[in-house]
Homo-oligomer: A and B are copies of this chain.
Amino acid sequence: MSADEPAAAGHGFAPPYLLFLGDCTEPGYAKTAFGLRDWAGDRCVGEFALPQASVSAGLERLTMGEAAARGARSLVIGIANSGGKIAPAWIPSLAEALDAGLDIVSGMHARLADIPELRAAAQRSGARLVDIRTPPAGLQVGTGRKRAGKRLLTVGTDCALGKKYTALALQRAMADRGIDADFRASGQTGIMISGGGIALDSVVVDFAAGAAEALSPDAAADHWDVIEGQGSLFHPAYAGVSLALLHGSQPDVFVVCHQPGRTHILGHETYALPSIEEVIELTTMLGRRTNPAIRCGGAAFNTAGMDRAEAHALMEREAARLGLPVADPMIGGPPLARLLDSCLGS
């Protein structure tokens, strides 16, 4: 979503952002900050870190006042810790941000407004506390009504293998071709990156399909929504989430995300990973209920950690076997262009 556009249904918060790195010393905990740098770099004015932090997103280090003076409107918490807590060491800096007029955007489990110092500072300055895990008010149950515009949904053989990055890469590739396209975030990091969306995992189950409908509203006939998928239809815990998102998204096209070498559902060692063909077949069958024209555009492989030549050879073999383009969206190049061609039906 471009910075001057209204936010998608759900949470909206204003760019540009200052990235908050707190006291982070472990790069693995700063994935949200890195995702924002990679996918929303044009909306980041800099980063803020406490003296004891050793992690950097490589942006200019600014004080809250400096960031505000450069036009920053939101401080985005770009780090996680185990437990999803707001660390006491962060609170004085967060209060300082509010006093400088910055909104604070958090994807933590703990709610910002439950911290008295932050509530008080927000009341003083009028800045907002935005908890993106809190579902937006007024969600409705799904209607199943066909909406105008075109939609692409990323689905997967499992969780945590690239559905968000694939959607971001495809939206960016569309924009590069001059196609009017929005990325629609269904998870917290995606919401941080795009500045809007709905954290589907926090919605009450009866409203899940309705939330997915709200996430990609009616649009111009040639507009594309590229929707971040969740879970997998084959996941023993999250298939219901995936089906609600599939029905509510009513995609024209889906892309199957996969990580070569993964053999079982993460954390569920008795559940074999489905084949890509099984995912295509089931997604098509179930997706037809709300969009009879649904089709598979191809597959996106997460080949991080593989030898590059080996990855290319594997993707070529798989593309030939499936009769569909296969690309690693983080590598891009001609395979990604072919995947996009297939998705666009051109």
Residue ranges of A at the interface with B (Cβ–Cβ < 8 Å): 141-145, 200-206, 208-210, 234, 236-245, 247, 265, 268, 270-271, 282, 285-286, 289-290
Q: Considering the chains assembled together, what is the distance between the CA atoms of A157 and B325 in angstroms?
A: 37
* Set of chain B residues within 8 Å of A145, measured between Cβ atoms: 270
B240 touches A289 (CB 8 A): no
Q: A142-B238, A205-B241, A206-B237 are in contact. List 16 more A-B contacts (CB 8 A).
A: A144-B236, A144-B237, A144-B270, A200-B205, A201-B204, A202-B206, A204-B205, A205-B205, A208-B241, A209-B236, A209-B237, A209-B239, A237-B247, A239-B286, A240-B241, A240-B244
B271 touches A144 (CB 8 A): yes
Known: A205-B204, A270-B144. A247 touches B236 (CB 8 A): yes
The 8 Å CB contact of A243, one of B142, B143, B203, B243, is: B243
The 8 Å CB contact of A289, one of B206, B236, B285, B286, is: B236
Q: Considering the chains assembled together, what is the distance between the CA atoms of A271 and B290 in angstroms?
A: 9
Whole-angstrom distance between the Cβ of A201 and the nearest chain B Cβ: 4
Whole-angstrom distance between the Cβ of A67 and the nearest chain B Cβ: 34
Q: Considering the chains assembled together, what is the distance between the CA atoms of A294 and B36 in angstroms?
A: 45
* Set of chain B residues within 8 Å of A234, measured between Cβ atoms: 289
The 8 Å CB contact of A208, one of B205, B245, B285, is: B205
Whole-angstrom distance between the Cβ of A237 and the nearest chain B Cβ: 4
B142 touches A236 (CB 8 A): yes
* Set of chain B residues within 8 Å of A142, measured between Cβ atoms: 236-238
Q: Considering the chains assembled together, what is the distance between the CA atoms of A205 and B144 in angstroms?
A: 19
**4 tightest CB-CB pairs across the interface, nearest first?**
A144-B236, A240-B244, A142-B237, A240-B240
* Set of chain B residues within 8 Å of A144, measured between Cβ atoms: 236-237, 265, 268, 270-271
B201 touches A236 (CB 8 A): no
Whole-angstrom distance between the Cβ of A195 and the nearest chain B Cβ: 23
A241 touches B143 (CB 8 A): no
B143 touches A209 (CB 8 A): no
Q: Considering the chains assembled together, what is the distance between the CA atoms of A270 and B240 in angstroms?
A: 23
B210 touches A201 (CB 8 A): no
Q: Considering the chains assembled together, what is the distance between the CA atoms of A310 and B243 in angstroms?
A: 38
The 8 Å CB contact of A239, one of B200, B268, B282, B289, is: B289
B270 touches A238 (CB 8 A): no
* Set of chain B residues within 8 Å of A141, measured between Cβ atoms: 237-238
* Set of chain B residues within 8 Å of A282, measured between Cβ atoms: 285
Q: Considering the chains assembled together, what is the distance between the CA atoms of A270 and B271 in angstroms?
A: 36
